[in-house]
Amino acid sequence: MKQLLLLLLLFNFSCDVNDPEKAVRPATINFSLSDSAKVTMYIENTYSSIVKTLYKKQSFPMGFHSIYWDGLNEKGKAIPVGLYFAVIEIETSQGKDKLSKPIVVSP
């Protein structure tokens, strides 16, 4: 069985230091797939509640991908300062895989 390569490589955050509670904290989430896959990607809090769904079973070709997240929750509000996790689930003909990476959002 072919091993599926999945990497979360980089998180870049910035925010408006003049108003950190209302700041948008954009992030770029980069990952690479060794085969085409259906991707589900979301941000969850420390209680495992989904804060924002970025993709749900979206088809991606093999290769490197960059996903932009604007730092907003499902209601379009800036997320509070704290610890979150970027979670990516992939599904291919070879099986399923899941990986999460911590994100610290600070003012």
What pLDDT does 11 receive?
A: 37
* Number of neighbours of residue 106 by Cβ within 10 angstroms: 10
What pLDDT does 25 receive?
A: 61
CA atoms of 21 and 63, how far apart (whole Å): 36
With a cut of 70, list the residues of the chain below it in pLDDT. 1-25, 107
What pLDDT does 18 receive?
A: 42
39 within 8 A of 57, measured Cβ to Cβ: yes
What pLDDT does 21 receive?
A: 42
Looking at residue 72, the DSSP 8-state letter turns out to be B
List the domains of the chain with CATH numbers.
Answer: 6-105 (2.60.40.4070)
What pLDDT does 14 receive?
A: 37
